[in-house]
Amino acid sequence: MNDDMTAFAGDLSNMWSLQNRPPLHHLTWDWWWWLVMLEDPDGKPSGRQLMVLWSTKDNPLVEVNGTPWMPQGRPGFDDHQGMALDGMVCAWWFDGTQMHEPVIKRICRIVALPDTHPNWPGANVGTGKGGGAVVPLLDEDLSMGLKSDLSEFWLNLTTDEEAQHPKVPKEMRLKLTPWNTAMSTAREATATYAANMGYDILRLHGTKAAGTLDGEEVQGTAYFQKVAVQAPSVPWYWGVLHLDDGSYIDWFLPHLSFTVTARDNRPWKRRDFGHLGLSQGGLFHDGKHKRSERFTNVTIEKRGSDMAEGEHGHFPGAPLPLFNIKMWNGRTTIELTVQAIERAHWTFNQPTRGGITSHLTYNEYPLKLERMRIIDEHGIRKETDYAWARGNAEHSWGLLH
C-alpha cells in the first residue's frame, strides 16, 4: 500500500511544544521517540533497528542506567514559542544480531523551535503547520526536525565514543518520508485523570526511511511518537509490526501484576505468568484491503523461549521472551507469535516522597515474526504471505512515581 503522498498529513502543529497541561512535579515526563527499522545486509527479514529519544523530566534527580540526571527546572519559553530544556538524548542500535546500548547517552541542554521562530534558518519563516526541530546544544549534530512543507523529517546522530564497535555506525544521516495515508497521517491520543494527571501522545505509525550509516546507503521504515505524560507509569506491554505490503499492527496492554514490585533486570521471571489488564487496545492498517481496524479485545502471553541473552547482555544466559498475542473484533482476528531476538534495557530510579525511591525497568525487544494468522471475511493470511515483517515489543515493570 504505497500512496502518492508528498507530505505528512494530520495536525502536526504541536510537534515542538510541551506543557500543554499544567505540569506536575515528579510525574511530568516528555519525549520525542523514533524507532527506525532498516533492511539487513545479510537478508534477515527482522532487519536492523535504531531507537533514539530526546527527553526531559520534571524531577530534581533521576538515575538512568546508573547515570544521575538532575534536570534544572522546567522548560523555559520565549515570546516566539521557542523552548529550552534540560534533557537527555539516548539511543540504542541493533546490528541485526547483537544489541549495542547505549550508543548515545548524553545529558545536555536542548532547544526546540517551530519554523515560525525568527531564529529558524533560511530566508522564509515557516507556516506553523508542523515544521521545526529539536536541537541538542552539543558539538556533535544530534538533531531531528521536519521541513516546513511537511515532506520530510531529518534525523542526524553521532554515536558516543564509548560505543565504538565495528558494527556501530559513527555517523547516521536519515531522511524519513511519507509511506501511505493510513500510516503517515499524524494521530493524537489523550486522556485526563484526576488531579491533572493524564497523557497526550502524537504518533506517526509509519514512514519510509532512507539515508546513510557511515556512508553506507540504507533504507527501511520508521515509527514516531511524541509523548507528554504526567501519571505514575504502571507496567505495560506494547508492540508494533511493519509489513512489506504497507500494513501495520500494534498492541497495547497496560496492566497490574506482581512485577509492579520487581526491581531486578532479568528479562523473564516466574512472576510474569499473570497480569490484570487495565485496558486493551490494538490497531491494524490493512495494506491489502485498504482499511483500518481497531481491537478492544487483546490478550498477551509472555513465555520464556529457547533464545538467551548473550555475554554482552545485562543478564547473560537468561531466556529472552516469546509473546503470543491475540486481537479480535466482530470481523477480524489476528494471532501473532513473536520472538524477542535481543533486548535493550533501561532502568530508572527516582527519589520520591518520604525518602522512597521508585523504580521502572523498561525493555525493548527487536522481534522475529514466528507465526501470524489474519482471519477475516476474505480468508486467512499467514506469515509466509509477506516478504518481511519488522517490529519491536516493549515490556516494562516497576512503578515510577
Q: What is the pLDDT of residues 277-291, one digit of tens each?
A: 446 789 999 999 999
8 A C-beta contact, residue 231 and residue 394: no
355 three-class SS:
helix
Whether 342 shows a pLDDT value over 80: the answer reads yes
Q: Mean pLDDT across the chain, nearest whole number?
A: 85
Determine, yes or no, domain membership for 128: yes
46, 72: one domain: yes
- pLDDT-based confidence at residue 222 (cuts at 50, 70, 90): very high
Q: What is the pLDDT of residues 26-37, one digit of tens each?
A: 566 788 999 999
Determine, yes or no, domain membership for 4: no
Whether 275 shows a pLDDT value over 60: the answer reads no
Instruction: Return the pLDDT at 347.
Output: 78
Determine, yes or no, domain membership for 110: yes
What is the rounded average pLDDT of the residues 148-160?
97
Whether 117 shows a pLDDT value over 90: the answer reads no
Whether 330 shows a pLDDT value over 80: the answer reads yes
CATH number for 192: 2.40.370.10
CATH number for 317: 2.40.370
Torsion of CA 375, 380, 382, 388, to 10 degrees: -80
- pLDDT-based confidence at residue 179 (cuts at 50, 70, 90): very high
Q: What is the pLDDT of residues 311-320, one digit of tens each?
A: 888 788 889 9
The domain boundary, picked from 231, 249, 271, lies at 231
Q: CB burial class (10 A; 0-12, 13-18, 19+) of residue 134?
A: buried
CA 310 and chain centroid, separation:
24
- Higher model confidence: residue 261 or residue 11? 11
Instruction: Return the pLDDT at 344.
Output: 93
Alpha helices by DSSP H, 166-254: none
178, 193: one domain: yes
35, 143: one domain: yes
220, 305: one domain: no
317, 256: one domain: yes
Instruction: Return the pLDDT at 263.
Output: 46
Determine, yes or no, domain membership for 1: no
Instruction: Return the pLDDT at 75.
Output: 64
226, 238: one domain: no
220, 236: one domain: no
Rg (CA), the chain: 20
3-state helix/strand/coil string of 261-319: HCCCCCCCCHHHHCCEECCCEEEEEECCCCEEEEECEEEEEEEEEEEECCCCCCCCCCE
158, 267: one domain: no
Determine, yes or no, domain membership for 330: yes
Determine, yes or no, domain membership for 3: no
Determine, yes or no, domain membership for 166: yes
221, 294: one domain: no
Instruction: Return the pLDDT at 35.
Output: 98
Question: Nearest CA to 231 among 30, 17, 16, 397?
Answer: 30
Instruction: Return the pLDDT at 95.
Output: 97
- Higher model confidence: residue 197 or residue 44? 44
Whether 234 shows a pLDDT value over 50: the answer reads yes
137, 239: one domain: no
Range of the domain at 126: 10-15+24-231
Q: Which of 142-156, 228-242, 295-309 has the lowest mean pLDDT?
A: 228-242
Whether 21 shows a pLDDT value over 90: the answer reads no
Instruction: Return the pLDDT at 353.
Output: 61
- Higher model confidence: residue 143 or residue 256? 143
- Written as one letter, the residue type at 155 is L
- Higher model confidence: residue 314 or residue 387? 387
Domain count, the chain: 2
Instruction: Return the pLDDT at 268.
Output: 47
Residue in the block written with cell 500510516: 183
Q: What is the pLDDT of residues 166-176, one digit of tens each?
A: 999 999 999 99
The domain boundary, picked from 231, 262, 292, lies at 231
Determine, yes or no, domain membership for 355: yes
The whole model's pTM is what?
A: 0.90
Whether 225 shows a pLDDT value over 90: the answer reads yes
What is the rounded average pLDDT of the residues 316-338?
95
How much of the chain, in percent, has pLDDT values that exceed 70?
79
Q: What is the pLDDT of residues 38-96, one digit of tens each?
A: 999 999 999 999 999 998 866 655 666 777 756 665 566 566 667 788 888 999 999 99
199, 284: one domain: no
Instruction: Return the pLDDT at 164.
Output: 93
What is the rounded average pLDDT of the residues 14-20?
82
What is the rounded average pLDDT of the residues 17-28?
65
The domain boundary, picked from 174, 199, 231, lies at 231
Q: What is the pLDDT of residues 240-256, one digit of tens each?
A: 999 999 999 999 987 45
Instruction: Return the pLDDT at 86.
Output: 86
Instruction: Return the pLDDT at 266.
Output: 52
173, 267: one domain: no
